[in-house]
Amino acid sequence: MNARHARTTRAPEPHDRTGWTGSTLRTQVWVLTARSLRAAFGDYRLVFFGLLQPVVLLLLFSQVFSGVGSLPGVAAYDGYINYLMPATLVNIAMITAMGAGAGLVAETYTGVVGRFRSLPISPVSVLLARTFADTARLAVQLVVIVVAAVLLLRFRPDGGPFGLAAAVLLTLVVGWGLSWVFVAIATWQRNVELMQAVSFIAMYPLMFSSSAYMPLQNMPAWVRAVATVNPLTYAIDAARALALGRSPGWALPLAVLLAMVAALGGGAAAARNFRRSA
């Protein structure tokens, strides 16, 4: 009886996958973004120091450069913190964007990206999830630094909560665009030390040769010329105007346009490098 049953019973056939077309790109991005966010907020030490860093930078620069508040072009802002704070938002976005590239290099080095390549998912979803996760992390950092500036440094934006919210939103757009530039660098160069060196070389000139810490008219002529073509200058000027209830003029559309150009150019380069390295 058992022998006949064994002969007539067939092993279960493998699941038929001919009708399965895979998950959509949106589902892949959502799942991978959630995974990155769990990794980012799963370690309380990483969360603590990640949120402490922008607050320390704001406190440091607000005290070191406090004498700039008496210079022409800054005194009209009724306190150096009002001039500095919107610029700090954009600079934090720059630092977080650099972290997006460093995070991708780290996941490549540890083999996480290799495991993603073995899955039936689009390579673009891996890159999109990385930028979205870091933009979400940036949003939390911006909220924390705004609260710290209001409570500790008496930051009082004349633009009110809506103007400040518009400045934060603009910063998120700029940060997302910049993250694609550093992700493109990460897909081009996978050495961690070299990635950090290239990122810092790109970051510090952009931060300090801008209108972040003092008006352009107070800079040497050659620095002023560099700051005039620095894309961060337009983002900082627009964020400052929105937060302080002033007209951003052409700075706002130029900042958004440059962020989109960075996202498109960096995204195209990152996708090409990512596929070539597969």
Q: For the CA atoms of the chain, what is the radius of gyration?
A: 23
Burial class (CB in 10 A: 0-12, 13-18, 19+), 103: buried
Do the Cβ atoms of 212 and 227 come closer than 8 Å? no
pLDDT digits (tens, 9 = 90+) for 221-241: 888 888 888 889 999 999 999
Can you give the pLDDT at residue 74? 79
Do the Cβ atoms of 158 and 77 come closer than 8 Å? no
- 103-109, Cβ contacts within 8 angstroms, sequence gap of 24 or more: 103/36, 103/130, 103/134, 104/130, 104/183, 104/186, 104/187, 105/186, 105/189, 105/190, 105/191, 105/192, 105/195, 106/192, 108/186, 108/190, 109/190, 109/192
pLDDT digits (tens, 9 = 90+) for 142-201: 999 999 998 988 888 888 889 999 999 999 999 999 999 999 988 887 777 777 787 788
**Which of 210, 179, 198 has the alpha carbon at shortest distance from 103?**
179
Every domain of the chain and the residues it spans: 24-276
